[in-house]
Amino acid sequence: MKILAMDDQLLVTFSVQRILSNRGYTVATASDGLEGVKLFEQFGPDLVIVDYQMPKMNGVEVIEYIRTKKMSNIPILILSGSTDEAIKEKGFELGIADYLAKPVDLHQLVGRVSALFERAKIAI
């Protein structure tokens, strides 16, 4: 299974890539939203993990691109350091599958990713 992780904090993307790769996932990373949507096209992920606050294109814009322009229903998980509930609500309105607050517990992330893939299998 292929995962695209987008975050402007390199420590976050490195950590996410390392732990998910160690679990057998193929992980590509992007450091901003614009790079992320380009990788989305090239990489063809099965799941997207996106930070809300990124340069060039924020997480909401990335989600809108995936949902409306690409008409894709792949699972999207938002990571955010913000405590603003409106961010979470906007994400769910746009069709995200899950939300995790930063700092991210990597073991919790692995569990959520696994659960999202299980839900996607059931929905097929």
The 10s digit of each residue's pLDDT in 65-115 is 999 999 999 999 999 887 778 878 888 998 999 999 889 899 999 999 999
In angstroms, the CA 116 to CA 69 distance is 22
Show me where the domains of the chain are located.
Answer: 2-119
pLDDT of residue 122: 59
* CATH number at 2-119: 3.40.50.2300
pLDDT of residue 80: 87
Selection from 55, 56, 48 nearest residue 95 by Cα: 48
Region 4-26 average pLDDT = 95
The 10s digit of each residue's pLDDT in 21-58 is 999 999 999 999 999 999 999 999 999 999 988 989 99
- The answer to whether 44 and 2 are in contact (CB under 8 A) is yes
pTM for this model (two decimals): 0.92
